[in-house]
Each structure stands twice: as C-alpha cells, then as structure tokens.
Amino acid sequence: MDMQKIEIISDSVERTFEIGSKIGEALLPGDIVCLVGPLGSGKTTLVKGIAAGAGSQKPNLVNSPSYVIINEYQGRFNIFHIDAYRINTEAEFESLGFEDILGPDSVVLIEWADKVASKLDGLDYVRIEMQHKGANSRAIKITGLKNMKNLSF
C-alpha cells in the first residue's frame, strides 16, 4: 500500500476545498482523519471539501462544531466531524462517545486532533497538518492516506 507523504500548497480557499474533496473521494469506510494546525489554517475549509468528496449533498452546512463539538453528515458513509478545540480532558473526549462512533461504516474527521492525541494512540489514521504560508497560502501535509492510486492533486 502506498503511504507516502504528500505536501501541497494551496493559494486559495477554493483550492483548499478542492484538495479536500479529492481526499474525500479517496476515503474508505472506517477511516479516521486527524487535522492539526493553528487557528485559521484552513482545517474546516478542508473538512467541507472532504465532506463534499465523500458524497455529502450539503457541504456548505459543514461548520466547525465548536459548541456542539460533534456534527454528523450523510455521504457515502456516516461522516462525523469533531472539533476538539474546546476539549480539555480525556474524560470529556470519552463522554462524546468517540469510541462508539468509530466503526467500519463511518468516517471520523477530527480538528485539533493533537489535543486528544493520547486517545488516538495505536489507531491507524490519516494525518493532515496545515500551516499558514501567507495571507491566502496554506501548506497541507498529508500522511497515511491509503487509497492514493488514482489521486492527483
């Protein structure tokens, strides 16, 4: 299986969405995607694209679940979107039912995944790191994406 590291520079919100949608097309049921990177680095923008690529009909409804913490969308599979920004303890993360939503038929996307790193130990996941490069420029580093054969960004 191809598990190389990909680094892409996006120079617009639209491009980040497009990159996300290609990732979404490549996802397989059971996948977990961990997104890390500072405020405003484009995690939610990418997630909107991922949801679109994964078949969600209403990707514009995708927003950071900052208050509810977890959102669910229906695409080719159940897509759960967690924003761990406001999670401060492992117990809080557990009380979300993280373990219950993991499953062979669902995809779980986690923003601020580094805040719950210890709960992700030992899990196989796609890691996406985002960085500011300029006002409209973001670096997107992807590792662990398995289904990359027909993928070109």
Ligand X SMILES: Nc1ncnc2c1ncn2[C@@H]1O[C@H](COP(=O)(O)OP(=O)(O)OP(=O)(O)O)[C@@H](O)[C@H]1O
Interaction site with ligand X (CB under 6 A): 10-13, 16, 37, 39-45, 64, 111, 136-138
Closest listed residue to residue 82, CA positions, set 120, 25, 139, 27 = 120
Between CA 65 and CA 18 the distance in angstroms is: 21
Q: Residue 128, SS3?
A: strand
> In the β-sheet with 32-36, what is the strand arrangement from edge to edge?
6-10, 137-143, 126-134, 32-36, 106-111, 78-83, 70-74
Question: What's the distance, Cα to Cα, between the start and end of the chain in Å?
Answer: 19
Which residue's CB is nearer to ligand X, number 78 or number 137?
137
Rounded to a whole number of angstroms, the minimum distance from the CB of residue 103 to ligand X is: 25
Considering the complex, state which of residue 92 and residue 99 has its C-beta at the smaller distance from Mg ion: 92
User: Which residue lies nearest ligand X, judged by its C-beta?
Assistant: 42
The contact mask relative to Mg ion for 31-50 (x = CB under 5 A, - = no) is ------------xx------
Considering CB distances under 5 to 8 angstroms, the limit depending on partner class, which of ligand X, Mg ion, none binds residue 24?
none
Nearer to Mg ion, 38 or 97 (CB): 38
* Count of residues that interact with Mg ion, criterion CB under 5 A: 4
Alpha-carbon 87 to chain mean position: 17
Residues 51-90 that bind Mg ion (CB under 5 A): 64
**Nearest approach, Cβ of 122 to ligand X (angstroms)?**
26
